Structure 1
């Protein structure tokens, strides 16, 4: 359909089937003549259409891509996840997507990055904190916003300030100090080693080696070398993006043999969704049964790492040894365990099992 020139340079219109003017901008950039539909009456008049065209030209002069300047945050977040999927852990991707959809998608997701302000983001953070959510949740949301804006130049969207960096998060201490009595430790180990579901029991036993839940749930049979009695936590499933190797303890070997050793695939594949890891709800269900059995209502699954670290320091292992047991990269990250116990023995995990593993398991 033919275009009619308006009084403004580069701005045209055509008449649609309802007799309404549809405004079109012709934009010449980098040797290419591009036609872009801006909108139609009555939502758009001549003056507003011209302003839109000038805004586009200004953005292009600032280094933006004509293809991407109109994408909203939801579109860009999807592309951000696609870009990062091979450089971060599956756990990170899952948590980022979950938090984005819960706190950002419906609030600012339909807006373009240039239209989002620090004040908008700060309100989201304040609402999270006012609702009683942990400050760590607010911190995670800020990190997502910072990461998306940092990613924009890779889409050709340049010269947009990273508004996430100006978001204020109150200082907080997320350290959990877990102090279980001898009797509580015995109850915990009893409940885990005698748990009826063999798959879940094996997972919990592995967690008692100081591993993170994401590391255990994502490990594959190919990562386990029974000949040399070692297993590898690949950087793709490690929280800190580093590859670590650990010794297989006799206890873990026994548990895996009883569970049933295979040649390949996920060690703990979901029973509901083949080829995928066990879901959070499933793990939470089983952990709640451990809580009920032990009476340790406030003990989190992640606290098993603290149990291992606390025992290590209590029995005199150096912070360096405890740190290596837990997969930390610096001794400073294990300082919290010196608050729990201080003493020394030889082997953290074997000593732990020797102390608390039920004799008939």
Structure 2
């Protein structure tokens, strides 16, 4: 349909079937003559259409592409997660989406990236810290913003400063020291190994092998090789985005056998939603029961990893072996970890169970 000139340069209109003017901006960019529909009467007037065209040119000059010109942070965040879905672990993606929806979406989700200032996000960070939440939460919010802005060029938006780099977070010690007496350890192991729900009991026993909750909840029967007594945490379910292979202990084999071994699918499928993992609410409910049973009110589920690590260190196992047991990796010791045999890792867990596992 032919375009008609208006009195403003680069602004045209066409007439729709209802005899209403539809305003169109004509833009010459990167050697191409392109058009973008701005709106129609009576929703916009000629003057408003011209202002929209000028704003469009301004945004293009600040790094936007025509395709991304109307995209807001909400849209870009969805695209960002989709593009990175194969390079980040499912656990990280879940946490990233959860924190964005909880802390960022309502405040900045409806804005364009160049309309958001560092101070706006800094206020979100300050509110998190002032409310008494862990500094680690604030750090994660900063990481989300920084990563998203770093990825903007791949989403068609250029020449925008990364506001995440300017966000300030006070230094903090995120380490958590867990020191249980032998009596408390015995109470903990008794509560776990005698927990009435066999599915949850098996999960907790697996967590006592140094695994993260997300690693255990997402593991499938196909990831377990009973013939070679090993299991694999796949890279997409690993916090370090690398596949990890561990030995099956006799304790774990017995627990899985009593639970009921299958050929395929999630080992710990939700009782509510088929083919889905157990939700956080369900796991928290059962862990609360463990706290009540043991009297360890401040012990978190994740602290079971600290229990394993602390036992290993206190009983003479090397840092390399303990690190491998927990699935840790750093630039300094990755090469040394590669030489640690699975049998050494298995010895840490076997020794732990020998010391505190209830006698059959």
Q: TM-score, normalised by structure 1?
A: 0.90
Which string of whole-angstrom CA distances, capped at 9 and with x for unpartnered residues, describes residues 198-254 of structure 1? 110000000000000011111111111111111111111100111111111000000
Alpha-carbon shift at residue 130 of structure 1 (Å): 1.1
Q: Is the 8 A contact 1:319 1:331 kept in 2?
A: no
Contact 1:212/1:302 (<8 A) preserved: yes
Aligned to 1:89: 89
* Aligned counterparts, 1:93-132, within 5 A: 93-132=93-132
The offset of 1:331, in angstroms, is 9.7
Q: Partners of 1:81 and 1:325 in 2: how far apart?
A: 30
1:31 and 2:37 aligned: no
Structure 1: distance between partners of 2:258 and 2:291: 24
- Counterpart position of 1:337: none
Cross-structure match for 1:348: 348
Matching of residue 313 in structure 1 with residue 310 in structure 2: no
Instruction: Tell me the alpha carbon deviations over residues 312-356 of structure 1, each in whole angstroms, 9 at most, x when there is no partner.
Output: 1111111111111111114989xxxxxxxxxxx992110100000
Q: In the alignment, is the contact (CA less than 8 A) between 1:235 and 1:243 conserved in 2?
A: yes
Distance 1:42 1:263, change over 3 A: closer
Q: Counterpart in 2 of 1:69?
A: 69
* SS of equivalent residue, structure 2 residue 172: coil
Partner of 2:337: none
The Cα offsets for residues 144-203 of structure 1, whole Å up to 9 and x where unpaired, read as 111111121112111111111111111111110000011000000000000011110000
Residue 234 of structure 1 is matched in structure 2 by: 234
- Structure 1: state its 5+ residue gaps: 334-344
Query: Quick check: 12-21 or 137-146, which moved more?
Result: 12-21
| Contact persistence 2:191–2:293 (CA under 8 A) | yes
Once residues 218 and 261 of structure 2 are traced to their aligned partners in structure 1, the CA distance between those partners, rounded to angstroms, is: 16
Taking the TM superposition and a 5 Å limit, the aligned residue runs for 1:294-305 are: 294-305=294-305
Query: Who is 1:209 aligned against?
Result: 209
Cα distance in structure 1, aligned partners of 2:59 and 2:238: 40
DSSP-derived class of the 1:246 partner = strand
Structure 1 CA distance, aligned partners of 2:108 and 2:20? 31
What is residue 285 of structure 2 aligned with on the other side?
A: 285
In 2, are the aligned partners of 1:323 and 1:330 still within 8 Å (CA)? no
Mark the CA change 1:235 to 1:194 in structure 2 (over 3 Å): closer, same or farther: same
| 1:147-296 alignment runs, 5 A limit | 147-296=147-296
For structure 1, which segment, 132-141 or 16-25, has the greater mean C-alpha deviation from structure 2 after superposition?
16-25
Give the whole-Å Cα distance in 2 for the aligned partners of 1:102 and 1:68.
Answer: 25
Which stretch shows the higher mean deviation, 65-74 or 322-331? Answer: 322-331
Separation (CA, whole Å) in 2 of partners of 1:329 and 1:149? 27
For residues 346 and 235 of structure 1, what CA distance do their matches in structure 2 show?
21
Aligned pair in 2 of structure 1 residues 41, 129: CA closer, same or farther (>3 Å)? farther
Does structure 2 conserve the Cα–Cα contact (< 8 Å) formed by 1:323 and 1:331? no
| Structure-2 separation of matches of 1:229 and 1:265 | 19
Quick one: structure 1 residues 216 and 346, their matched pair in 2 at CA, closer, same or farther if it must change by over 3 Å? closer
Distance 1:141 1:307 in 2: 28
Q: 1:63 to 1:42 in 2, by over 3 A?
A: closer
TM-score (norm 2): 0.90
Inter-CA distance 301–331: structure 2 relative to 1 (3 Å threshold): farther
Residue pair 2:38, 2:49 contacting (<8 A) in 1 also:
no
| Superposed displacement of residue 63, structure 1 | 4.7
Between stretches 318-327 and 7-16, larger displacement belongs to 7-16
Distance apart, 1:41 and its partner CA:
6.3
- Work out whether residues 233 and 245 of structure 1, in 8 Å CA contact, stay in contact via their aligned partners in 2: yes
Shift of 1:26: 2.0
- The answer to whether residue 26 in structure 2 is matched with residue 6 in structure 1 is no
Match of 2:340 in 1: none
Note the C-alpha offset of 1:132.
Answer: 1.2
Give the conservation status (yes or no) of the 8 Å contact 1:25–1:38.
Answer: no
Deviations along 1:54-91, one digit per CA (max 9) or x if unpaired, are: 33234335553201111011111111111111111111
1:35 Cα deviation after fit:
3.2
Please say if 1:52 is aligned against 2:52: yes
| CA displacement at 1:12 relative to structure 2 | 3.2
